[in-house]
Chain A
Amino acid sequence: MTATTMTSGPKKQHLTRSLAFVALPLVILIWALTDLSLGRTLVEWIPYLASGFMMNILISLLAMTFGTVIGAIFGILELAPYRLVRYPVVAYVQIFRNAPHLVLIFATTYIFPFEIVIAGNYLPFPDWVKAVIGLAIPASAYVAEITRGAIQSIPTTQWEAAQGLGFSRWQALRYIILPQCVRRSLPPWMNLFSSITMATALASLVGVHELLHAATDASTAVRRIDFTIIAYIVVMAAFFALCYPISRLTRRLERRFNAA
């Protein structure tokens, strides 16, 4: 009895998970097939929606790349022995970690000019780049805190052992402390990745052509209530398909690290 529940337990869970994963696409598919005119319209608009979604992926990847690089450096600087370095960084992190993403996207959109003049050449400064900056800023603040926390979670005896062998402070950080931090900060980093990816939808509010914006365009053009609904379900399904695997992977990694 116990044995059967034990084997069926995880299996059942697995089934529910895959069900969640296919549920939204299934709803879309069945609905589109039962009303073929709706299905045809949706198929027509899919490339447009997909081009919007590419923008979400692009913004998310770039924001996370910049955010991670800057955040990792800031996280290290948050622990610098010099106050002159530490205080401004801590201030940056505290301010931007507690600012709503939408506010930052609005701020970067309106603070930066729409074009930059470099040596007499007018270079466009598109809104999507501003959205990348608007999301990279909070991402860097979060990554800084993740990095700082990871460094501080490494026992001081590791520093002492490194020091005792003759490693400099920087070498100890580079070869002994940071490699151990990567493993510890991966799960929270992926959570952040997922949350920044979802926040890319906010860029629609400043006119960036991304998925949510594309869906709004489409529903305004088609002017059918059922199409509007299915278009937004497609938006949800797309974000789900991107973020759910990230959160699954995070949980698996967390379990593996806890076991080790």
Chain B
Amino acid sequence: MTVSPDNAMTTTDGKAQDHIVKLEDIHLSFGQTQVLKGVNLTVNKGDAVSIIGPSGSGKSTLLRCINALAMPQRGRITVNGTRVDQLTKESERIELRKRVGIVFQQYNLFPHLTVLDNIVLPPTKILGVNRAAAEKLARELLDKVRLSDKANSYPGQLSGGQQQRVAIARALAMKPELVLFDEVTSALDPETVGEVLQVIRDLVRDGMTSILVTHEMRFAEEISDTVVFTENGLIVDHGSPEQIFHTSTNPRIRQFVGGLGARGTVRDGEGI
């Protein structure tokens, strides 16, 4: 078990020292709206953590706090030894973002660049990697996401699922210590969801620390080490997929998971 809303050090397998992300008592509001009201979360190295919960519960904001795209008003965020909440300078936040990859719901590829250049540009311009090395890595990553033949295509020529896989490859090209996935399949049509999930599944299997905000319940259940249920800016419960999806005694979670169960089954039927 990797997540503990009360005490971050409490674990069942004794791997607590290995945590890569630790959020303590995070409070964040946009104007009058309180989005996060005291969130605690610990993620161990190599784990896959899924954050589920109804819309507007603060899942995406929580994710953005981890790479300083959103700054909380209160609380401590530690990412591999870096106190994210104390990063006041833009240059310090950039240093953090180099180490934390993020993939968005709308892919956000750069439309004026080819698929290959989308993946090559960040490491060459941000990390100063030479073009040849960056291109070699980009081709390996394209191979990994099964898009080797699309290297010279432009994003506009690809399907949503293909674009999202390129976005994942682009995030990986920075060799991040962990990757954040922000509802990466929510904008896709059902046929292409599977191919994106397969890429994430491979990634998790390879030991990449991954934090996913997702509505794919079956997928979350399958790949996660821990599932976190959020509602109204708080973590309601957390635990193994088995605990959250099947043995939870919390009526709200039972209702939420039950309501989405049918959708999960359909997805399963499509061979995910």
Q: Are A and B co-members of a single complex? A: yes
Task: Using CB atoms and an 8 Å cutoff, list the residues of chain A in contact with chain B.
Answer: 157-158, 160-161, 163-169, 171, 175-176, 179-180, 183, 260
Could you give 28 example pairs across A and B, Cβ below 8 Å? A157-B108, A158-B108, A158-B110, A160-B104, A160-B108, A161-B109, A163-B69, A164-B67, A164-B97, A164-B101, A164-B104, A165-B97, A165-B101, A165-B102, A165-B126, A165-B174, A166-B94, A166-B95, A166-B97, A167-B125, A168-B90, A168-B94, A175-B125, A176-B110, A179-B112, A180-B112, A183-B112, A260-B156
Q: In the complex, what distance in Å separates the CA atom of A157 from the CA atom of B156?
A: 16
Within 8 A of A (CB), among B105-146: 106, 108-112, 121-122, 125-126
Q: In the complex, what distance in Å separates the CA atom of A145 from the CA atom of B18?
A: 53
Q: In the complex, what distance in Å separates the CA atom of A180 from the CA atom of B102?
A: 22
Do A171 and B126 have beta carbons less than 8 Å apart? yes
With a 10 A CB-CB cut-off, give which of A160, A165, A180, A260 has the most chain B CB atoms.
A165
Do B112 and A166 have beta carbons less than 8 Å apart? no
Do B98 and A161 have beta carbons less than 8 Å apart? no
Residues of A close to B22: CB separation below 8 A: none
Over the window 159-191 of chain B, the binary record of Cβ atoms lying under 8 Å from chain A Cβ atoms (1 yes, 0 no) is: 000000000001100100000000000000000
Closest to A158 in B: B108
Q: Which 6 interchain pairs have the tightest Cβ spacing?
A: A161-B108, A166-B97, A166-B98, A164-B102, A165-B122, A166-B126
* Given A164-B67, A166-B122, A167-B122, A157 and B104 contact (CB-CB distance below 8 Å): yes
Closest to B180 in A: A164
Residues of A close to B174: CB separation below 8 A: 165-166
Residues of A close to B102: CB separation below 8 A: 164-165
Residues of B close to A157: CB separation below 8 A: 104, 106, 108
With a 10 A CB-CB cut-off, give which of A161, A167, A176 has the most chain B CB atoms.
A161
Task: Using CB atoms and an 8 Å cutoff, list the residues of chain B in contact with chain A.
Answer: 67, 69, 90-91, 94-95, 97-98, 101-102, 104, 106, 108-112, 121-122, 125-126, 156, 170-171, 174
Residues of A close to B171: CB separation below 8 A: 165
Residues of B close to A175: CB separation below 8 A: 121, 125
Residues of A close to B170: CB separation below 8 A: 165
Q: In the complex, what distance in Å separates the CA atom of A176 from the CA atom of B121?
A: 10
Closest to B182 in A: A164
Do A164 and B69 have beta carbons less than 8 Å apart? yes
Residues of B close to A163: CB separation below 8 A: 69, 97
Q: In the complex, what distance in Å separates the CA atom of A232 from the CA atom of B231?
A: 77
How distant is B114 from chain A, measured CB to nearest CB, in Å? 13
Q: In the complex, what distance in Å separates the CA atom of A217 from the CA atom of B106?
A: 64
Residues of B close to A168: CB separation below 8 A: 90-91, 94
Q: In the complex, what distance in Å separates the CA atom of A167 from the CA atom of B170?
A: 13
Residues of B close to A166: CB separation below 8 A: 94-95, 97-98, 122, 126, 174
Residues of A close to B108: CB separation below 8 A: 157-158, 160-161
Residues of B close to A179: CB separation below 8 A: 112
10 additional A-B pairs beyond A158-B110, A161-B110, beta carbons within 8 Å, are A157-B108, A161-B104, A163-B69, A164-B102, A164-B104, A165-B101, A165-B170, A166-B97, A175-B121, A179-B112
How distant is B10 from chain A, measured CB to nearest CB, in Å? 32
Do B110 and A160 have beta carbons less than 8 Å apart? no
Residues of B close to A165: CB separation below 8 A: 97, 101-102, 122, 126, 170-171, 174
Closest to B104 in A: A161
Closest to A167 in B: B126
How distant is B270 from chain A, measured CB to nearest CB, in Å? 28
How distant is B118 from chain A, measured CB to nearest CB, in Å? 10
How distant is B138 from chain A, measured CB to nearest CB, in Å? 14
Residues of B close to A164: CB separation below 8 A: 67, 69, 97, 101-102, 104
Residues of B close to A260: CB separation below 8 A: 156
How distant is B73 from chain A, measured CB to nearest CB, in Å? 20
Q: In the complex, what distance in Å separates the CA atom of A164 from the CA atom of B167?
A: 12
* Given A160-B104, A161-B108, A164-B102, A171 and B69 contact (CB-CB distance below 8 Å): no
Residues of B close to A160: CB separation below 8 A: 69, 104, 108
Q: In the complex, what distance in Å separates the CA atom of A176 from the CA atom of B110?
A: 7
With a 10 A CB-CB cut-off, give which of A160, A164, A171, A175 has the most chain B CB atoms.
A164
Q: In the complex, what distance in Å separates the CA atom of A137 from the CA atom of B125?
A: 35
Closest to A168 in B: B94
Residues of B close to A183: CB separation below 8 A: 112
Closest to A182 in B: B112
Closest to A183 in B: B112
Residues of A close to B122: CB separation below 8 A: 165-167
Do A169 and B156 have beta carbons less than 8 Å apart? no
How distant is B19 from chain A, measured CB to nearest CB, in Å? 22
